[in-house]
Chain A
Amino acid sequence: MSKKAVALISGGLDSMLAARLIQQQGVQVEGINFYTGFCVEGHTHAIRKQDRNKNKRNNALWVAEQLGIKLQIIDIVEEYKDVVINPKHGYGANLNPCLDCKIFMVGKALEWIKDFEYDFIITGEVIGQRPMSQRKATMPVVARESGADDLLLRPLCAKNLAPTLPEREGWIDREKLMSITGRSRKPQMALAKEFGFVDYAQPAGGCCFLTDKSYSVKLQDLWNHRGTRKYELDDIMLLKVGRHIRPNQAFKLIIAREEGETNFLSGYQREFQTIKTVSHAGPIALVEGEQLDAQQLELACAITARFSQGRDADSVELLFSDHGQNTQSIHVKPMPAEQIKADWVLA
């Protein structure tokens, strides 16, 4: 009877190639993709108007379609919080807990294969590809700590690792697997060509916003000011949008950079204090933090006005609204650019 494998499909080239290598050996492959809330694709494209004409495809779905496999997208937003907040193996260059993340995802895949009677798990990992999570020393850590042990097969570098159960049992032929190592993408590109894959995603900087320096600065700032490392999905979505400016400890402004972001942030008017320029074309700003007093409100409006078409006007009118209520009109002189201190801008 033919064996069944679950492939972790990230949407990138490596997991696509890994899945195809196993399909070629007559194994029935199905894909799973995890949604952590930090995933790069989709959101920013959907929000920013300037990006609207770009291809908005979901890469994991696209890969599944190219491979001709079924794909389930699994919402792990809640469970994943613990991975981000308390990574046992620490963070990479930014707030990316890559090793814990891999262990967690392979562990989830293990639950999946048990629940739905698959035989083993495939990932697109390559030894030496990523400084933190894809070193030769970490490969056994992922296998062991996830509990998957020798049910975890990495087809792209399998020949450099000890044989796994599917290889030992002869479900698949180890000789037809690969021995790719290192950061060069050439072997993967050659294999993609051999398989006839074109137009695959080459995401710069990894699969999620946690590898992004500016995003990590904003997330750390959020934790610092809340006094706790907790977050909700809306928090981490909002860190992907707008300029984040914190002029003091009391509040932070999230100021839309263009129309698409204004539309998106407008959807949060009931959850936040908001400021919107009315005398001139301009952005909406969400105020995150304490209830603004008169002085803070003036400061928040002066900063927001700076990013409107009225930036050089003597006076700009803005509307302040408190969770969609008690709207009041405010007139301010926009803050000159040089008064917006560099360390206010979170990036």
Chain B
Amino acid sequence: MSEVTELDARRLLCPMPVIRLQDCLRKQASGARVRITCTDPGTMNDIPAWCRINDHTLLECDQQDHQISFLVQKSQV
């Protein structure tokens, strides 16, 4: 498995975390994995929705205290 790219989107409000994730994934190869850490609860809706729409796979979603982290894999197409 390739390395996971870490993205810190804490304190950013929606839709900035989605934009950060999208811009990061655009530069990655298919199958690459990115973990994004957020504090805006709106990301609980937005990041899964953005992944579904754009065919990326949400591998994990983990919420601890006020932090939410998402592990996303870029689509194969």
Give chain A's interface residues, CB within 8 Å of chain B. Answer: 33, 35, 39, 41-43, 45-47, 52, 56-58, 60-62, 64-65, 69-75, 237, 267
Chain B nearest Cβ from A165, distance in angstroms = 28
Point out the residues of chain B lying under 8 angstroms from A72, CB to CB.
Answer: 22
Beyond A42-B42, A46-B13, A56-B42, whether A35 also contacts B19 by CB under 8 A is yes
Point out the residues of chain A lying under 8 angstroms from B50, CB to CB.
Answer: 61, 71, 73
Count of A-B residue pairs with CB < 8 Å: 69
Beyond A35-B19, A43-B14, A71-B53, whether A61 also contacts B41 by CB under 8 A is no
Cβ of B42 and Cβ of A46 under 8 Å apart? yes
The chain B residue with its CB closest to the CB of A60 is B15
> Residues 35-67 of chain B: 1 if any A CB is under 8 Å from the residue's CB, otherwise 0?
000001110111001101111000000000000
Q: 29 A-B residue contacts at CB 8 Å?
A: A33-B15, A35-B16, A42-B15, A42-B40, A42-B42, A42-B46, A43-B14, A46-B14, A46-B41, A46-B42, A47-B13, A56-B42, A57-B46, A58-B14, A58-B18, A58-B42, A58-B49, A60-B15, A61-B15, A61-B45, A61-B46, A61-B53, A65-B52, A70-B53, A73-B18, A73-B50, A74-B19, A75-B16, A75-B19
Q: How large is the interface on B (under 10, 10 to 19, 20 to 34, 35 or more residues)?
A: 20 to 34
Chain A nearest Cβ from B47, distance in angstroms = 9
The 10 closest A-B CB pairs, nearest first, are: A42-B14, A56-B42, A61-B49, A46-B42, A46-B40, A43-B13, A58-B46, A57-B45, A75-B19, A64-B53
> In the bound complex, what is the Cα–Cα distance between A188 and B52 (angstroms)?
27
Point out the residues of chain A lying under 8 angstroms from B54, CB to CB.
Answer: 70-71
> In the bound complex, what is the Cα–Cα distance between A45 and B15 (angstroms)?
12
> In the bound complex, what is the Cα–Cα distance between A47 and B13 (angstroms)?
9
> Residues 8-40 of chain B: 1 if any A CB is under 8 Å from the residue's CB, otherwise 0?
000101111011001100000000000000001
Point out the residues of chain B lying under 8 angstroms from A46, CB to CB.
Answer: 13-14, 40-42
The chain A residue with its CB closest to the CB of B46 is A58
Other A-B pairs, 14, CB within 8 Å; known A42-B40, A56-B45: A33-B15, A56-B41, A57-B49, A58-B45, A58-B46, A61-B15, A61-B49, A64-B53, A65-B49, A69-B53, A72-B22, A73-B22, A73-B50, A75-B23
> In the bound complex, what is the Cα–Cα distance between A42 and B40 (angstroms)?
9
Chain B nearest Cβ from A4, distance in angstroms = 16
> In the bound complex, what is the Cα–Cα distance between A284 and B46 (angstroms)?
29
Cβ of B14 and Cβ of A237 under 8 Å apart? no
Chain A nearest Cβ from B14, distance in angstroms = 4
Chain B nearest Cβ from A82, distance in angstroms = 20
> In the bound complex, what is the Cα–Cα distance between A60 and B45 (angstroms)?
12
Cβ of B40 and Cβ of A65 under 8 Å apart? no
Point out the residues of chain A lying under 8 angstroms from B11, CB to CB.
Answer: 267
Chain B nearest Cβ from A163, distance in angstroms = 32
> In the bound complex, what is the Cα–Cα distance between A71 and B23 (angstroms)?
13
Point out the residues of chain A lying under 8 angstroms from B19, CB to CB.
Answer: 35, 73-75
Cβ of A45 and Cβ of B46 under 8 Å apart? no
